[in-house]
Every structure is written in structure tokens, then in C-alpha cells.
Structure 1
Amino acid sequence: MKNKPSRQRPSSREWGARLILAGVVGWIGYFSVIQSLALVLPDSRIEEAYALAPNNGRIAGRLSQALYRPDASEADRIRAVILARNALLHDPTAVEAVATLATDALARGDQEDGERLLAYSQRLSRRDLRTQLMAIELAVAQDDISGALRHYDIALRTKKNASELLFPVLTSALSNPSIRTELVKTLTGQPIWGTKFIYHAARSEPDPAASAAFFRALQAARVPVPEAAGVMLINKLLAAKLFDDAWTYYAITHPDSDPRQSRDPAFKTLLEARSAFDWVAVNSLGVSNAILPDATNGLFDFTVSMGNGGPLLQQLQMLPPGDYVLEGQSVGIEQSARSRPYWILRCHTGGEIGRVELPNSSQAGDRFQGNISVPADCPVQMLALVARSTDEIGGVSGQISHIQIRPARETAHARTAS
């Protein structure tokens, strides 16, 4: 029988080589883990990240940006510049470092160097927010509105949180007609942030009139404006008592609207959102009602429990001075006179202009009618259906299938024609 060959034991030199190799691999692994950890640390812990990886150009660049802020001390700014320069020695593509050096150059009044560095930063990446902010400031200083908006667009496309910073600034600039014009041109391209900005402008507090002018320009350029955003703007204008601006925009979005009469008399229009110029159902304690729109036979349905009352349905009007007829049709209203609802027209500044009592639906073929005069000192009115508080156990319920207020002279013309 042949003897099995014996295994040779590694020599001490081989063991040493293996140990060195294992040490190198371990060190590389440790270094890789440290680098990875440093890179994922947030900006709030950027000093820790830099301590872990001082030779990483990207991390050094981020730290330089964190240090070079508007309220930074001179010492922090000097350190930020040194860090940025060192960062570029390790990584020439560290865009944050380039942005820091560009900021410093512009702050020192070195326009040429600042613009050169800014252009280099733009070539490296479009995702650096500071670079885009500097480009915006530079374009504004040069009265280059289209250039500024181009960088707004880049920033808003590439940074999710850029809107928090840029939308308020952009909205405050809407009072400038030149900026509005260029912004509308930008939005005709339907950028991904466009609709979100339109909603932001609709909620704008400082100058709703400027937002209204912006929305009118959008409509003229056929840029889609969400119905809900338009309603937000109208109600914001009304809250600011800018009634004419509110009506002008409403009339643009509802071309058939006539200030001399109420709108949607048969509740046919299905709306995503309702402004005060539309029919609005008013729900309160003990009151349940709903507008049920339908293309052919819409209606308003209401139920008021015993002991409750108040406005049920309302629509803001801008009727010119003159005589008007309020007419309509009801369904299912059968109560005593002291419990039946009534229509009222009030001046927006306070005071009742006119009232029309609702008869029972079984009377006069379910129809009702009354006359109201609007005085010259009341340009804005509220038309409302009001429920009286009743002691009847069943409460009050019914439906309105048609309601309109219109100039009385139309009735006279119709009689003459007949």
C-alpha cells in the first residue's frame, strides 16, 4: 500500500504574507465603511462626517457650504474657503466646494472670478441649490428676468425642497408685470412644479390682486388652471374685499355669467369646488342639506329639525342698481306659514334689501315669485334661502328645483313681445 503524500505546513514567511494581506484587506474594509458612513451623515452632522473622512472632497465641500452662510463669522468664512480649496485638490468635481468659492468671490466683489466659478459649478451639476440661487441673484442684478426664471426652473425641477424657499419669493414678485409675463411663458411649458405653484399663488396673502392678474394671464395663455385653485383665489379676493377683481376672474372662468342675474338656476353644474359666486349649501346644527347637480334636473334638498334654523343655501351677487324679479320652483314644501323658509337678499355691508316668502309647493303649481329693488349704495349682495326655527315635530324639509333673480325689465319685455 502506497503512503499518502503528507501536507506541507506553510512556512513562517508565508504566514507573514497572509497576515499582511489580511491586514490590508481589513484596513481597506474599515476605510470603506468609514467613508460610506461619512457620506450618509446628514448636513446637521457634517463636522462629524469631515472628522471621519477629512480627505473626501465631497464631504469637505459640504462642510464649506455649511460654514459659508449669510450670518457666518469672518473666521468661519476663511475656514470655509480653505476647506473648499482643499476639497477640490482631492476631488475637482466637488460642486459644493466650487459653489462656496463662487459665493466668496462675488462677496468680495470679484465679479469675473465669481461668474467663472459659477459657470464651472453649473457644468458640474444642476442639482446644487446654492449654485442656482447664486445664478438667480446674478440674473436679477443684471435685470435678466428670463435668465432668473430659467434657474428657478432648474432648481425647482431638481430639488424637492426648493419650493419651500423659492415659491414665496416668486409669489411676492407677481406684482411686477414683466415677471408675470415671463413666468407665464415658463408655465406654458408645463414644468412639473407648475400646478403646485399655481395653488401656492392662489393662497397668497400679501397681494391677492397680483395673483389675480397672474391667473388672468394664465387663462389668456391657455395654461391649465385647476378649478380648485381658481376658487381659492376668488375666495381670497373676496376676503380682502376685492370684489371687482374676484368677479372679473370668475367671469373669465365662467363665460356665460351675467352680473345682472344669479347663476345656475337649475343646479345643473357639477363643480369640483365652489366659490361664493356659486350656490353654496350651508350646513349647521340640526340642518342637513345638499346640492344635487344634474345635467337635466338638478335640485337643492334640505331638512331642518325642530327648533333649528338659519341659512340653508346662498350665492353672492353683484347686481347693479335696479328692480329685479326673484322666481323659482319648489318640491315637497308643505308647512304652516310660520314654519316655511324664505328667500332674502342682503346688502354685503349689512341690511335686508328684500324678502320673498316661499308658499307651499302645492300652491301655484309649485312656483314662487317676488320683486326686489337694489339701491345704488349696495354694489354687493348675498342671496340666501333661510329656514325659520319651527316647533313642528317633523321639522321642515323640501327641495328647490329652480331659483333665479333677474332684471324686472326682462319680464316687461317678455309681456310686450307676447
Structure 2
Amino acid sequence: MIHSGSKMGGLLAKAVLGLSLVASALPALQYAQVATLRANAPNEAAQIAPRDARVVAAILGRRFEENPELKPSVRDLANIKAAITERPLEPKLISMLGLAYEAAGDTMQGSRVMELADRISRRDALSSLYLIETASASGDVRKTVRHYHAVLSTQPELYPTLLPILASAISYPEIRAALRPYLQGGTRWTAPFLAEAADRADAQDLEALLLPLPEKLSRDEYAPTLAKVLYQLALHGDKGEATSFARAIIPGFSSSELTNLSVSAKTIDKRLGSLAWTFPSVEGIRVEPDADNSMQISVDPLARGIVASRDLLIAGPATYQFMQRLDYSSGPGKITARWTAECITPTGRQRFWEQRLPQNEQQGKYRSVVNVPVSCKIMRVALFAEGADSQSPSVLIIKDLTLTGSD
């Protein structure tokens, strides 16, 4: 536990001092002159209002940013105390006093003052970051996460600083355990945190953090984030891990739906993300999917673009049969269409198959052979369509999509 706390503390050390000036940013005061000078020329503001708490905080904030190792002088401490006498509930100035004690080597007094600043206002960034830092350094993981929660609940502007650190730390079981109550409660920072974790964390660590899935995370607002986590499990983990997670986020889900090419209510579920059928918006093209395993594509003259795509869990090397039934509208012009397949890997994607659809019949069943390359775990199929050079839209209905073969 101490190692994980120290890791989080070390990552935060620079953030605490680097944000000291931000924590000292000042709102308007009682009169316009001091309010104007406070941010741009605090030394001049101090001549007008030498005991103005926010002016003193601004002056010291600049000095701490210029020199994070600064040790406030006796005069600095006297100015801080005098300003606090005038404005005793100014949290930013109290935080500066705590930082001054810390720099002078009085860590115990510095911690007490920082806790006071935090009690006065939970929106004081400097005291909040300081308390996270000290809790991390002590190895108290639950206390550290509790301080994270307090800061993230009130200061979303600190998400870019804190969420990457917290997301990277879920490799430690004790941190995952400390985070679970907040995920179960569905805090305001849960969704952005999980999105960050999906980008940074190991797939197995994500699975260990999220399963069993807290009830609050089943709400629609979490669907895009959970889809992102699912995709990371599919890309970096194995089929079993991805399937288990899909079952957790979609009640009644069947593992075959991650490998089944057909169009159905389950395979267009947005909780699957790109592992479901998606239909990009393209000007002049309309796609109507149907849960009976069909899609109707209407394309205006000369309109073109990707009209449908889907990522499937696959096992290469293997040979698959790609089958579909084509039904073109009557008329002189027909849609030109082609399927492509790419292998998706953590380092990029590579196209390995392309098939132009025949136009020689109004209706008919069409079969293609797809040879999936070795080590391919995710296959992306996409349908490109182009309208005919005619006076009216063309229509193509594709039905009975299936992909069969040996794993």
C-alpha cells in the first residue's frame, strides 16, 4: 500500500507547486482599482491595500511559481498573518500560510493549516492538492482517494491534472478497492475518470475495477464510456474477457453477438460501441437497418461514402464465408458498392480484403471468401456505396448477412 501511495504522491508533487499560482487567482474586490491591479500588478495593489488578503496571496503566489523552493521570510509570515486578521476566512491566503510553514520545515503546522483551508472552502485548489500529496506520501490509500473525491467533486477544472494520475494508479489492488464505493455511488467524475482509465490502464486492471458492474453505471450516460472499456478489453485482452464484460453491461447478451455479422437489436446496441453496427452520416445517403438482419441503402446520384461498419472479434489465421442477399431497385442506375475488411491492432490497422458487389442481377445470394491473417483478433468490415449517374436515387437492400467458418 505504501508503494502505491508513494507513486501517486510522486506524480502529484509537481502539480501541487505548479498550480500554486492558479490557486491564488483572484476575483474582484470591493473597489475597482484594487481589483484591476491585483492580478496584473499586485505590488502596486499592495501599496493601496497592504492588508488585502487576496493581494498578499497574489504576490506570494507569483513568487512561489517563480521559485517552488521559496522559503517565506519572517516579513512574509507577518504580512500573511496581518492579512488573515483583516480577512480570517480567506482560504487561498490560509493555504499560502500552510505552504509557508511547510517550506520552513514545520510540516505538522503546515498540515493543520492546510486542513483548515480545506474546511473553509473545498474549492481551494492548493490546500486540496496538498492534502492529496500528504495522504499519498503517508501510504494511506483510502484517505488519498477520499481527498481525490473531494477535489474532483468540486473542481472539474483539475480533471486534466488529477484523472490521469488516478487512472494510472488502478494497477494497485488497494486503490481499486478504495475506488469501488465511489463508482457504486455514481459520482460526477466517474464517467470522465473511466474514459481516462480506458485510455491509460491495463485491460485486466479495468476489468478488475469494474466487475461486478455497479448498478449506477448501467445508466445510459455511461454507455459510451463502457463501450470504450469493452473495446480496450477486446483489443488488449482476450475474447473471454471482452465477452464477460459485454454480458455485464448488456443483460441477456450472448457471446455469439460479438462474432455474428447479422443486423439485430443486439448488434446495433450503442453499448457495444464500434463492436456494434454503426451507420455514419453521409450527405445524400440514407441507411435503414432492420432487426430482421437487413439494411436498406438509398443513395442520391453520385453521392458516395462509407454507409455501414462493424468490428468483430475474430481468430486468425482462418478462412470465413461471407454471405449476403442483394436486392437492387429496378431502373437504369444501380448503386456501386464494395465491402472491405481490415485487421485492427493496438498499433494501427491493415486492410486485407476487398470485394465489389455484383450488379448483374436484380436479386441474388452472393458468397465471398475472407482469409483472415494470423494474429488478427478484431476485424473491421465496412461497406462503401456510390450513387448511380442518374436522375433519381438508387436503392440496395442487403439481407441475410452471415459470416461462417473455422476459428
TM-score, structure 1 as length reference: 0.68
Identify the structure with bigger relative contact order (alpha carbons < 8 Å, sequence gap 6+).
Answer: 2
Q: 1:99 aligns with which of 95, 100, 113?
A: 95
Q: Deviations over 1:139-175 (max 9, x none)?
A: 0000111111211222223335333432333334344
Deviation of 1:135 (Å): 0.7
Deviation of 1:405 (Å): 1.2
Q: Deviations over 1:68-98 (max 9, x none)?
A: 3472574766654332222234344443333
- Paired position in structure 2 for 1:130: 126
- Paired position in structure 2 for 1:220: 212
- Paired position in structure 2 for 1:191: 187
Counterpart of 2:125, as a letter, is L
d(CA) in 2 for partners of 1:360, 1:243: 43
Counterpart of 1:143, as a letter, is G
d(CA) in 1 for partners of 2:343, 2:206: 30
1:383 aligns with 2:387: no
Matches within 5 A, 1:3-22: none
Matches within 5 A, 1:1-400: 35-37=30-32, 40=35, 43-57=39-53, 59-61=55-57, 63-69=59-65, 71-72=67-68, 74=70, 80-202=76-198, 204=199, 207-209=200-202, 213-214=205-206, 217-218=209-210, 220-222=212-214, 223-224=216-217, 226-233=222-229, 242=236, 244=238, 247=242, 252-254=248-250, 255-258=253-256, 261-266=259-264, 271-272=269-270, 275-281=273-279, 288-294=284-290, 299-303=295-299, 305-306=301-302, 311-321=306-316, 322-333=318-329, 341-347=337-343, 350=350, 352=352, 355=355, 357-358=357-358, 362-364=362-364, 367-372=365-370, 374=372, 376-387=374-385, 397-400=395-398
Counterpart of 1:116, as a letter, is R
CA contact (8 A) 1:309 1:387 kept: yes
CA contact (8 A) 1:60 1:84 kept: yes
Q: Deviations over 1:173-226 (max 9, x none)?
A: 344443233223223222233334334445x4xx2536x733662352414162
Q: How many residues align?
A: 366
Distance 1:83 1:388, change over 3 A: same
Q: Which runs of 5+ in 1 are unaligned?
A: 1-32, 410-418
d(CA) in 2 for partners of 1:342, 1:215: 37
CA contact (8 A) 1:334 1:361 kept: no
CA contact (8 A) 2:257 2:266 kept: no
d(CA) in 1 for partners of 2:352, 2:374: 14
CA contact (8 A) 1:99 1:131 kept: yes
Q: Deviations over 1:393-417 (max 9, x none)?
A: 76853122442213479xxxxxxxx
d(CA) in 2 for partners of 1:94, 1:390: 71
Distance 1:402 1:70, change over 3 A: farther
CA contact (8 A) 1:105 1:113 kept: yes
CA contact (8 A) 2:168 2:201 kept: no
d(CA) in 2 for partners of 1:143, 1:388: 61
Distance 1:52 1:385, change over 3 A: same
CA contact (8 A) 1:64 1:96 kept: no
d(CA) in 2 for partners of 1:56, 1:391: 75
Distance 1:71 1:171, change over 3 A: farther
SS at match of 2:161: helix
d(CA) in 1 for partners of 2:205, 2:294: 34
Deviation of 1:351 (Å): 5.8
SS at match of 1:217: helix
Q: Which runs of 5+ in 2 are unaligned?
A: 1-27
Deviation of 1:137 (Å): 0.5
CA contact (8 A) 1:340 1:396 kept: no
d(CA) in 2 for partners of 1:237, 1:78: 56
TM-score, structure 2 as length reference: 0.69
Highest Rg: 1 or 2? 1
